[in-house]
Structure 1
């Protein structure tokens, strides 16, 4: 028999469920700490471990939003269960400017929809992100292009990722060794971004799976 939750653990669990229901993804340790008045994200981490031991959540290590609800994972998926299904009837949402601190697929960020089906890309794309800047130009990701992004927690070293760091969203090549992550540009004019996961929040929004040149519908998968 599963041990009952303490009042504080119940508060943490309720906040996780509320966040996932409202935003579609789980909170970070820092967000839990702010919402419930903890002194540091470490306190939130301890509660998450306790909740995992009691079987009410599953924690995916190495990701800032790596919290899953086993009850939801066990439910069979229907056409409306995946983030991209709601948009697939209109095509892929094109994300323009992303406001600091807000979810990348918030309605106010969607410029329009592209008629390409998600399955055009492998793995399937969940949205298109309009590229700003020239930091990835040496691998053919240019200013004004649309980067097709697949939302996933599973990141391999060397992949092109969409990363959120301190409320800024950037496209870079991902490298990790222990607690250290390097977000590397593909342009020598741009210095790499170094992240210490022990002290900084880093969220991976997904991986790049293709490019639409100049946003004109000519896809380069």
Structure 2
């Protein structure tokens, strides 16, 4: 990456801070407001200079089409809207500076745990689960699945053409899915857990 001017570094820091706080990059108008630019053209000129120096990538046709070329760490997925990809902009609450390679296989995102369905294997409400994105999972693995637009964390078991999503809480019943009649997609498998120090509200 070529040497940045002090103003370019300030704008890069602002983009980074916005991504970490909101999970999405700032708009050109956000940048104008933050730096007192008279028009979005001034913000665009700085963004193009940052892109030319390799600090960011610009995606055409999107008001927030700014991507940092450095790693922000792992995105934290909160609530996933019906019909939205699990890593859509609206689903990402924040980013955490965690090396994805500290998990094996490497993690692609962190999922905020909601509910008590997995407490008997030490997965508590509010924990962050490190998830490796894959649809290739084996029976017995703890997975992230989407059933009819509901995202859930359960242990996988296949039986007689059905998929059973098993809770690790003896007070709860398994979710039994008939893939011929219900929408089921495997979003990934759990490869680790983070607690406390990265607990955001």
Q: Give the structure 2 partner of residue 128 of structure 1.
A: 110
- Residue number among 100, 117, 140 corresponding to 2:82 in the alignment: 100
Larger Rg: 2
Deviation (angstroms), 1:198: 1.7
Question: Is 1:194 aligned to 2:176, yes or no?
Answer: yes
Q: Normalising by the residue count of structure 1, what TM-score does the alignment of the two structures yield?
A: 0.57
Deviation (angstroms), 1:88: 6.9
Deviation (angstroms), 1:177: 2.1
| 1:1-221 map, 5 Å | 89-214=71-196, 216-217=197-198
Deviation (angstroms), 1:196: 1.1
The change in CA–CA distance for 1:136 and 1:194 in structure 2 (over 3 A counts) is same
Deviation (angstroms), 1:108: 1.3
Q: Normalising by the residue count of structure 2, what TM-score does the alignment of the two structures yield?
A: 0.63
Segments of structure 1 that go 5 or more residues without pairing to the other structure are 1-79, 81-85
The change in CA–CA distance for 1:203 and 1:101 in structure 2 (over 3 A counts) is same
The change in CA–CA distance for 1:99 and 1:88 in structure 2 (over 3 A counts) is farther
